[in-house]
Chains A and B, each alone.
Chain A
Amino acid sequence: MRLNPAFWFIAPALALLAMFVFLPVAAALGLSFTDFDIYALADIRRLRFVGLDNYRRLFGDAEFWMALRNTLYFVAVGGPLSVLVSLAAALLVNHRLTPFKGLFRSLLFLPVVTTLVAVAVVWRYLYQPRNGVLNYLLGGFGIGPVDWLGDPDWAMPAIILMAVWKNFGFNMIVFVAGLQSIPESLYEAASIDGAGARQQFFHITLPLLAPTFLFVAVITMIGHFQLFAEPYVMTQGGPSGSTLSIALLMYQQGFRWWNLGYASAIAFVLFGLVLSLTVLAAGLRKLRVAAEEEPEGRSLPKP
């Protein structure tokens, strides 16, 4: 049998992938069924095969539930907020009346390419309860000082605010690309038919942006589930664990305490969570597309 020549072109890349992605992932899956820890590192005879014990322990671990709750909070509030802000920014920088479009796009994209650690240090100053700029401004409106990173109720909103500011630029660029692919003629036709700006937005812009929207939503969701660097730099998961995310918990278990078995189990639970939600999102999209196409009778005949 002769292999397709294309195989030899992609073989080096595949070999690298297998070596540095699939193999480690398989090894991690194996690890998650053991209690690999610092003792086992010294002497492999101290390793126990524990089956699903790590997963079982995980579901009884209050810290894990707290991390899951915090992560879901971040995804559910931060995700939509990030998408909406980036859509609004995209509409603004794409509007025909906006001057210096290129400049604004670059400026709004700037936070995305800035080093997070540097950004976090600056934001920590902004959030400082006694001398921070944010509380000074709020004071101008007669609002009392908020202990942004020190109050368990405010720490996550503070992280979300910073994360949205840091990341919306990327989605904005994707939305701008989506907006520019909408033919101008549709807007012209609509305005001749007497549609106002609002109607144009809801009946032309939004429906034609749907594929972009789905892409942005899924990418944002996946990214938000992996929340790590922001709390790692700004709060270390505190105060009282209110910003502990699943990825941060995994890091602590794996690299601080060297419980690689338990950390691997956390990684696979996170993977399963993200995978199922992504499949769900893709499934919803398919359902909708199918529902739209049905009336026109273009769907394939059922077997």
Chain B
Amino acid sequence: MSRTRSLCPRSILLACALILSGCQPEEEAEVVEFWAFGSEGEVAHELAGEFERLNPEIRVEVQQIPWSAAHEKLLTAYAGGNLPDVFQLGNTWIAEFAALRALEDVAARFENTGRKGDYFEGPLDVAVVDERMLAVPWYVDTRILFYRRDLLEAAGIASPPRSWEGWFEAMIRVRERHGDFGLFLPIDAWEVPVIFALQQGAALLKDGNRYGDFLHPDFRAAFDFYLRGFREKLTPAEASGQMANLYREFGRGYFAALITGPWNLGEFRRRLPDVDAAWDTAPLPSFDGSYPGISLAGGASLALAAGSTRKEAAWKLIEFLTAPPQQIRLYRLTGDLPPGRTAWSDPVLAGDHKAQSFRRQMDRLLPPPKIPEWERIASRIAAYAEKAARGEMAPSAALEALNDEVDRILEKRRWLLERGR
């Protein structure tokens, strides 16, 4: 979830303006605390400022927190009883904060807005844990293909293949033609093996998320397919942190494609102006002939703290921030993709060919298992996938070790479920 974006001078000016305007005391206003992270945090003041103009009786106190510290900060705030009224929550953390009973069920309030039909199913589903809606999707973060059209065309491939088999053939042809790599899959990340598994129909966990299901033939098939790229040297055995300058390597054609998220739309445009016409985006291919293939429903949502004493005012803020006009505004300010259909029909997004690949992907999104242990399990998937990709462990041994370890991680969950706590 970490992203590096330089602070634009506009936001600095804005911050100064806000500090100055903050000098006028606003009495009798109800104060709502709001925490936002990373680049969303940078623009939160601006978004909240408009909310305050429309709702003069409410004042929003924004705190900006870097993504790298956000998770720890929220947990310690919870432990100290200091959670803000409204906070941004990475989608994979919702189940964790649900287990902490820190989130207010917003299903009824959300129903009243009448916007439910506007949302894509994938992002909306993410916010529902154990049949309770615990947050409202703010923006979507998913993974699709970014590829060099010129390199594929030079290898005789006119349009991006719609199946993984086709991609592997394309990658082999790119290598024959260029000598460099076809696809960059970071060797230490869990997203791609998990996407392959979801596409193969693997459940990842079984018995109500009580045990690992990594020995299932579907997962084995996905895992084997993931390893194939490394085995056949179609993808470099490099970690994401190691690729010192991803953008330059992509511009140079060291690899012809990568699977990455929406923040790179802006980064690629800014950093690779020379090859802007040469690269493009495409939804993920699939194994079963469907198109687009399934991708992960990531991103962040806005949550209402269960312990908040100003829930009405806090909800007003959430309702405002997640409305279609603000979704578009957030896209313009940060490049974060809207979770609702209305926002996508805005000319800014509808006319953007490269962003439209994300729009097509929105129809096929699945969330990873919604349990508090997920991030930990994901890190173990990444660790064993790396060991297998580097040839340190046989794939079947790696999967067995992974399954054992996940069973151990879920032991407490089984104990709690048995006792109905």
Chain A residue contacts of B241, Cβ below 8 A: 235-236, 238
Min Cβ gap B182→A in Å is 18
Min Cβ gap A88→B in Å is 33
Q: Are B244 and A124 in contact (CB under 8 A)?
A: yes
Min Cβ gap B162→A in Å is 33
Q: Are A128 and B421 in contact (CB under 8 A)?
A: no
Q: Are A41 and B78 in contact (CB under 8 A)?
A: yes
Q: Complex Cα distance A236/B379, Å?
A: 12
Q: Are B242 and A150 in contact (CB under 8 A)?
A: yes
Min Cβ gap B69→A in Å is 11
Min Cβ gap A9→B in Å is 35
Q: Are B79 and A41 in contact (CB under 8 A)?
A: yes
Interface residues of B in 196-249 (CB under 8 A from A): 237-239, 241-242, 244
Whether A49 is near chain B, meaning CB under 8 Å from some CB there, is no
Q: Are A152 and B390 in contact (CB under 8 A)?
A: yes
Whether A22 is near chain B, meaning CB under 8 Å from some CB there, is no
Chain B residue contacts of A257, Cβ below 8 A: 375-376
Chain B residue contacts of A128, Cβ below 8 A: 244
Interface residues of A in 39-71 (CB under 8 A from B): 39, 41-43, 45-46, 48, 57, 62
Whether A35 is near chain B, meaning CB under 8 Å from some CB there, is yes
Q: Are B386 and A239 in contact (CB under 8 A)?
A: yes
Q: Complex Cα distance A256/B96, Å?
A: 12
Chain A residue contacts of B99, Cβ below 8 A: 38-39, 42
Q: For chain A, what secondary structure do more than half of its interface residues adopt (helix, strand, loop), or is it mixed? A: loop
Q: Are B412 and A238 in contact (CB under 8 A)?
A: no
Whether A125 is near chain B, meaning CB under 8 Å from some CB there, is yes
Chain B interface, number of residues (Cβ within 8 angstroms)? 32
Residue of B nearest to A257 (CB): B376
Known: A37-B412, A38-B96, A62-B401. A239 touches B187 (CB 8 A): yes
Whether A241 is near chain B, meaning CB under 8 Å from some CB there, is yes
Chain B residue contacts of A201, Cβ below 8 A: none
Q: Are B100 and A149 in contact (CB under 8 A)?
A: no
Q: Are B372 and A38 in contact (CB under 8 A)?
A: yes
Interface residues of B in 50-73 (CB under 8 A from A): 71-72
Q: Are B412 and A35 in contact (CB under 8 A)?
A: yes
Whether A154 is near chain B, meaning CB under 8 Å from some CB there, is no
Whether B75 is near chain A, meaning CB under 8 Å from some CB there, is yes
Min Cβ gap A115→B in Å is 17
Q: Are A240 and B238 in contact (CB under 8 A)?
A: no
Q: Mark contacts of B61-93 with chain A using CB atoms, 8 A cut-off: 1 yes-contact digit, 0 otherwise.
A: 000000000011001001100000000000000
Q: Are A239 and B188 in contact (CB under 8 A)?
A: yes
Chain A interface, number of residues (Cβ within 8 angstroms)? 32
Whether B387 is near chain A, meaning CB under 8 Å from some CB there, is yes
Q: Are A45 and B421 in contact (CB under 8 A)?
A: yes
Q: Complex Cα distance A150/B387, Å?
A: 13
Q: Complex Cα distance A57/B101, Å?
A: 29
Residue of B nearest to A235 (CB): B241
Min Cβ gap A151→B in Å is 9
Q: Mark contacts of A7-49 with chain B using CB atoms, 8 A cut-off: 1 yes-contact digit, 0 otherwise.
A: 0000000000000000000000000000101110111011010
Chain B residue contacts of A149, Cβ below 8 A: 242
Chain B residue contacts of A152, Cβ below 8 A: 390, 392
Q: Complex Cα distance A240/B393, Å?
A: 11
Q: Are B75 and A46 in contact (CB under 8 A)?
A: no
Q: Mark contacts of B91-115 with chain A using CB atoms, 8 A cut-off: 1 yes-contact digit, 0 otherwise.
A: 0000010011110000000000000
Whether A258 is near chain B, meaning CB under 8 Å from some CB there, is yes
Interface residues of B in 146-197 (CB under 8 A from A): 187-188
Among A39, A150, A241, point to the contact of B416 (Cβ < 8 A).
A39
Chain A residue contacts of B387, Cβ below 8 A: 240-241
Residue of A nearest to B390 (CB): A240
Min Cβ gap A55→B in Å is 15
Known: A41-B79, A62-B401, A258-B75. A239 touches B239 (CB 8 A): yes
Min Cβ gap B397→A in Å is 12
Q: Complex Cα distance A216/B188, Å?
A: 38
The residue among A128, A239, A255 with the most chain B CB atoms within 10 A of its own CB is A239
Min Cβ gap B243→A in Å is 10
Q: Are B392 and A240 in contact (CB under 8 A)?
A: yes
Whether B349 is near chain A, meaning CB under 8 Å from some CB there, is no
Q: Complex Cα distance A255/B71, Å?
A: 9
Chain A residue contacts of B71, Cβ below 8 A: 256
Min Cβ gap A202→B in Å is 45
Q: Complex Cα distance A158/B81, Å?
A: 43
The residue among A35, A238, A241 with the most chain B CB atoms within 10 A of its own CB is A238
Given contacts A41-B75, A124-B244, A150-B242, 15 further A-B pairs with CB under 8 A are: A38-B75, A38-B96, A39-B99, A41-B78, A41-B79, A42-B100, A43-B101, A57-B408, A239-B386, A239-B390, A240-B386, A255-B72, A256-B376, A257-B375, A258-B75
Chain A residues at the B interface, C-beta cutoff of 8 Å: 35, 37-39, 41-43, 45-46, 48, 57, 62, 124-125, 128-131, 147, 149-150, 152, 235-236, 238-241, 255-258
The 5 closest A-B pairs by CB, nearest first: A42-B100, A128-B244, A150-B242, A257-B376, A240-B386
Q: Can you show 21 pairs from A to B with CB atoms below 8 A apart?
A: A38-B75, A38-B99, A39-B416, A41-B75, A41-B78, A41-B79, A42-B102, A46-B416, A57-B408, A124-B244, A131-B244, A147-B242, A150-B242, A152-B392, A235-B241, A238-B241, A239-B239, A239-B386, A240-B390, A240-B392, A241-B383
